[in-house]
Amino acid sequence: MRSRYAAYVLKLESYLLGTWHPDTRPEQLSLAEDAAHWTRLDVKRHVAESPTSAIVEFIARYKINGRAHRLHEVSRFVRENEQWFYIDGNFPE
Protein backbone atom coordinates (compact mmCIF):
# COMPACT_ATOMS: atom_id res chain seq x y z
CA MET A 1 0.00 0.00 0.00
CA ARG A 2 2.75 2.44 0.89
CA SER A 3 4.53 1.89 -2.42
CA ARG A 4 1.31 2.51 -4.35
CA TYR A 5 0.70 5.70 -2.35
CA ALA A 6 4.24 6.86 -3.18
CA ALA A 7 3.55 6.07 -6.84
CA TYR A 8 0.47 8.32 -6.74
CA VAL A 9 2.54 11.09 -5.14
CA LEU A 10 5.21 10.74 -7.85
CA LYS A 11 2.63 10.08 -10.62
CA LEU A 12 4.25 6.78 -11.59
CA GLU A 13 1.49 5.39 -13.75
CA SER A 14 3.49 2.38 -14.98
CA TYR A 15 4.13 1.23 -11.40
CA LEU A 16 0.48 1.62 -10.45
CA LEU A 17 -0.70 -0.30 -13.49
CA GLY A 18 1.95 -2.97 -12.91
CA THR A 19 0.77 -3.56 -9.34
CA TRP A 20 -2.94 -3.55 -10.25
CA HIS A 21 -4.44 -6.97 -10.88
CA PRO A 22 -5.14 -7.53 -14.61
CA ASP A 23 -8.76 -8.51 -13.90
CA THR A 24 -9.59 -5.06 -12.47
CA ARG A 25 -6.86 -2.81 -13.89
CA PRO A 26 -7.91 0.11 -16.09
CA GLU A 27 -6.31 0.40 -19.50
CA GLN A 28 -4.66 3.68 -18.57
CA LEU A 29 -4.42 6.35 -15.92
CA SER A 30 -4.33 10.13 -16.36
CA LEU A 31 -2.28 11.22 -13.37
CA ALA A 32 -0.60 14.05 -15.30
CA GLU A 33 -4.00 15.76 -15.35
CA ASP A 34 -4.62 15.07 -11.64
CA ALA A 35 -4.39 18.27 -9.57
CA ALA A 36 -4.16 16.44 -6.24
CA HIS A 37 -1.18 17.17 -4.02
CA TRP A 38 -0.90 14.11 -1.75
CA THR A 39 0.18 15.02 1.77
CA ARG A 40 -0.17 12.02 4.08
CA LEU A 41 -0.95 8.31 4.33
CA ASP A 42 -2.29 6.65 7.48
CA VAL A 43 -2.64 2.88 7.35
CA LYS A 44 -5.42 2.05 9.83
CA ARG A 45 -5.34 -1.73 9.63
CA HIS A 46 -3.86 -4.62 7.71
CA VAL A 47 -5.50 -8.04 7.77
CA ALA A 48 -3.79 -11.04 6.20
CA GLU A 49 -6.81 -13.18 5.36
CA SER A 50 -4.58 -15.93 3.99
CA PRO A 51 -1.03 -16.21 2.59
CA THR A 52 -2.40 -14.95 -0.74
CA SER A 53 -5.00 -12.33 0.22
CA ALA A 54 -5.03 -9.26 2.42
CA ILE A 55 -7.06 -6.19 3.26
CA VAL A 56 -5.57 -2.76 3.96
CA GLU A 57 -7.63 0.10 5.35
CA PHE A 58 -6.10 3.53 4.92
CA ILE A 59 -6.77 7.24 4.87
CA ALA A 60 -4.84 9.29 2.31
CA ARG A 61 -4.92 13.05 2.61
CA TYR A 62 -4.48 15.46 -0.27
CA LYS A 63 -5.11 19.02 -1.34
CA ILE A 64 -6.60 20.45 -4.50
CA ASN A 65 -6.26 24.20 -4.97
CA GLY A 66 -5.32 24.52 -1.30
CA ARG A 67 -8.45 22.74 -0.06
CA ALA A 68 -7.92 19.63 2.08
CA HIS A 69 -9.57 16.30 1.21
CA ARG A 70 -9.25 12.71 2.34
CA LEU A 71 -9.71 9.33 0.76
CA HIS A 72 -10.78 6.55 3.15
CA GLU A 73 -10.58 3.14 1.49
CA VAL A 74 -10.58 -0.53 2.41
CA SER A 75 -8.47 -2.17 -0.29
CA ARG A 76 -8.24 -5.81 -1.31
CA PHE A 77 -4.93 -7.32 -2.41
CA VAL A 78 -4.05 -10.74 -3.80
CA ARG A 79 -0.64 -12.40 -4.05
CA GLU A 80 0.21 -14.24 -7.27
CA ASN A 81 3.63 -15.49 -8.33
CA GLU A 82 5.22 -13.92 -5.23
CA GLN A 83 3.86 -10.45 -6.07
CA TRP A 84 1.04 -8.49 -4.41
CA PHE A 85 -1.60 -6.92 -6.66
CA TYR A 86 -4.28 -4.37 -5.85
CA ILE A 87 -7.73 -5.77 -6.68
CA ASP A 88 -10.20 -3.06 -5.66
CA GLY A 89 -11.48 -1.08 -2.74
CA ASN A 90 -14.59 0.25 -1.10
CA PHE A 91 -15.22 3.49 0.70
CA PRO A 92 -16.69 2.93 4.16
CA GLU A 93 -17.95 6.47 4.78
Query: Per-domain residue ranges for the chain?
Result: 2-90
In this structure, whether the domain defined by 2-90 belongs to CATH 3.10.450.50 is answered with: yes
Residue 64 has pLDDT above 90, yes or no: yes
pTM of the model: 0.90
Average the pLDDT over 31-57 and give the result: 95
What is the rounded average pLDDT for all residues in the chain?
96
Q: Rounded to the nearest 10 degrees, how much is the dihedral formed by the CA atoms of 67, 73, 77, 83?
A: 20
3-state secondary structure 57-88: EEEEEEEECCEEEEEEEEEEEEEECCEEEEEE
Angle, CA of 84, 55 and 22, to the nearest 5°: 40
